[in-house]
Structure 1
């Protein structure tokens, strides 16, 4: 991204772990904060406009001739740049995710075997066939089998954990169906249920899911904030290294999307170190975050940083490690690998992987996969002058039509005047 076009809140997302930034906030030295933003490529005109002050006043702050004193300006700065209120001595801002407070007496993880069995059955089916067709079944299970138990005054906390985990799963399935607005509502509902259960790991896992969703919807600042929230929550209870690694990875993804290379690589290194030395940890409600998942996410971090050689290594590792029963994850990894080959101008290699991708399980019901395939097609269209690419695009169109026919009963048709 061009430095002049950077979103200030994205730059701030990359500074949340910077000692100079934290010191400027703690001392309420807005001149120092503005200088940091300016050095990171945000123009003084854009800073002044965001905070609604004149450039002359901004220069006075930056040169130490005056200091911000008024509460309303601190609030404007926090809201304009998405600086968490606590860093400036303010109340939490309206846009900040709500963190889960620690209960006075955390409840040990306790589970009902039937609830876990249902969760595992949904999870295994989702990995292989995608969440688009399973969403309704999960919601019905929540409504019929879980919700009635929540209203019982004698409900065990494990029921709230089951409700939180399945509500989070419904959010992922909504996301897989292309309904990110619905997914956000599910994640928002899941967090207080996890809080009530006292299961910190489950709550932190939901924060990681919210981080992923924010990243997918183009808000890396919120993604970084949710990853940090998850790490804070996890610090209140028993540490689960794979989940800690996942949260550091999501932070790295957010920072890379915000073009913050050094902190992104640092966060990713933390994830690799934690996962490499971690003993296997079991938790009844969490999906495993393993070496294949980390390799897949690492490829995306380095791709977003335009480090395509390193991205290629991780993408190939992700495919090599991925289990054959994880059809959707394998599809995503192959999509990433094709894109990296294209960026490296290796069209024949890209097409070899692309043909493998098109022969993937046709029953995979994931709108998200189709959307990513469309993005991949747009990347290849710029090379349609190469005959093998033209042939691939023709085959791609046929495969896409076939996949959409399989989802025709649950995916709304495109609005009139929009591209298919």
Structure 2
């Protein structure tokens, strides 16, 4: 990504982090409540509150510019006592002091195992986490739908900066508003998860991981368990894409645990079983992978529940595409072929990236079945993919497909295709030069 384009996106990204607590040190003399409001989506604060480690909470507030004098005065203790808590020499034990801290800093009671505080908005149901979900803000949903629709056609590379700016300008400021309800945290989580996918699609997996890591505590803070499970599924996908099958299995299990405590959403459960099956297949765990895939199909065939506004759809086309990859890794190529063909047939032409990825999988399976004519036929269809599709993920998978075909260059149809592919690739790289970073060797990815 060129400096001219990366700078605005990273500037917006840091503005979002500032609102979520990462850059509160840059603010002059902040109020303790403002600092805590900005940290409510931070997993470190949530972990400290869960452990009732008030010393860690005080250190976080102090590190973001609030003096120890102001902290001590806010919770009505001496500075000497505060230092003991911050240095780990003693811990807060009395219930009354936990309540003082919660009320002084506006820490939601549920995070400290306390009853709902008098200043908190009344939730739909009371508990540490709610199985229902808050009503979404209409403007946030409209923005989400627009981003999602554009992403399917143009790729994440073209939209990542816009999503991050929307988070910074329209969503993050509301996180620090004491009057904001849980629906703001749900919107922040859903859009942060979307930013993670767009970063992944742009070839920035490290940035994607940071987005997913922030999306999960935001979902938990909102009380929306299906959304939290959805983020876990995305994290599982990213772990698998970066070569960590063990972590992918773990995240899929985490998602399934969350989904089991929430209202039934068969498509979400199917997606989580699918991610678990993919990771197990990569790890050559044949029987567990097959069982997980069967579970995914059973759940997706179940009667649909009410649609969840923040979750990306997981439909028959998506399951067919994932099934093809699972069966490919299990070396069941005939079954993989059937699912890959189904995925291509079900994909809408308007979903350019998904259709391209499905066709790439189909080419690979044909090659593994030694059916080069069929592979070349589908590969020619890929040349029609929009050359401006801003997806580094598609470009890299196309290059992987080419490497798979290269050993068969001696077969004239393959050789002729590779010439056309290379011509098309050069044109594509010129059009995507602003999105695709150079490799260490100085060439494009």
Given that 2:436 and 2:444 are in contact with CA atoms closer than 8 Å, whether structure 1 keeps it comes out as no
Match in the other structure for 1:262: 287
Aligned partner (choices 388, 396, 406) of residue 363 of structure 1: 388
**244, 266, 285: which one aligns with 1:241:** 266
Quick check: 1:338–1:351 contact (8 Å CA) kept in 2? Answer: yes
Q: Contact 1:131/1:366 (CA < 8 Å) preserved in 2?
A: yes
Contact 1:242/1:281, CA 8 A, preserved across alignment: no
Instruction: Work out whether 1:290 is the aligned partner of 2:284.
Output: no
Distance in 1, Cα, partners of 2:393 & 2:129: 40
1:296–1:318: 8 Å Cα contact kept in structure 2? yes
Deviation at 1:281, TM superposition (A): 3.4
Asked whether the equivalents of residues 273 and 295 of structure 2 are also in contact (C-alpha less than 8 Å), the reply is yes
Is residue 2:227 matched to residue 1:199?
Answer: no
Structure 2 regions of 5+ residues with no counterpart? 1-112, 114-126
Q: Deviations over 1:246-298 (max 9, x none)?
A: 00000000000001111101000001011112325301101111000000000
CA contact 1:107–1:197 (8 Å) conserved in 2: no
Distance 2:322 2:141 in 1: 27
Give the aligned partner of residue 413 of structure 2.
388
If you compute each CA radius of gyration, which structure gives the higher value, 1 or 2?
A: 2
Determine the C-alpha separation between the residues in 2 that align with 1:417 and 1:411.
12
- Could you tell me whether the CA contact under 8 Å between 1:241 and 1:281 is conserved in 2? no
- The 2-side partners of 1:265 and 1:321 are apart by 23
Q: Where do 5+ consecutive residues of structure 1 fail to align?
A: 1-100
**More displaced 10-residue stretch of structure 1: 404-413 or 269-278:** 404-413
> 1:387, CA displacement in angstroms?
1.4
Query: C-alpha displacement at 1:411, in angstroms?
Result: 2.0
Deviation at 1:371, TM superposition (A): 0.4
- The 3 A distance-change label for structure 1 pair 419 and 128 is closer
Which of 343, 346, 351 is equivalent to 1:318?
343
**Which one of the candidate residues 116, 135, 138 is aligned to 2:141?**
116
1:46 alignment partner in structure 2 = none
Tell me, in whole angstroms, the C-alpha distance in 2 between the residues paired with 1:288 and 1:208.
13
CA distance in 1 between counterparts of 2:129 and 2:321 reads 38
Whether contact under 8 Å (2:133, 2:225) holds in the other structure is no
Q: How far apart are residue 235 of structure 1 and its match?
A: 1.3
C-alpha distance in structure 2 between counterparts of 1:362 and 1:418, whole Å: 19
Q: Deviation string for 1:124-168 (max 9, x for gaps)?
A: 000011000100000000000000000001111000000000000
2:414 matches 1:411: no
Q: Where does residue 161 of structure 2 map in the other structure?
A: 136
Please give the alpha-carbon distance, in whole angstroms, between the structure 2 residues aligned to 1:167 and 1:400. 32
- Alignment of 1:172 with 2:197, yes or no, is yes
TM-score by length of 2: 0.70
CA contact (8 A) 2:255 2:272 kept: yes
Q: Displacement of 1:323 after TM fit?
A: 1.4
> Given that residues 165 and 285 in structure 1 are in contact (C-alpha distance below 8 angstroms), is that contact kept between their aligned partners in structure 2?
yes
User: What is the number of equivalent residue pairs in this alignment?
Assistant: 320
User: Against the structure 1 CA distance between its residues 298 and 105, is the aligned structure 2 distance closer, same or farther, given a 3 Å change threshold?
Assistant: closer
Give distance in 2, aligned partners of 1:298 and 1:416: 35
1:54-133 correspondence to structure 2 within 5 Å: 103-106=128-131, 108-133=133-158
Q: Does 2:303 match 1:278?
A: yes
| Aligned-pair CA distance for 1:352 | 0.4
The equivalent residue for 2:211 is: 186
Give TM-score scaled by structure 1 length: 0.74
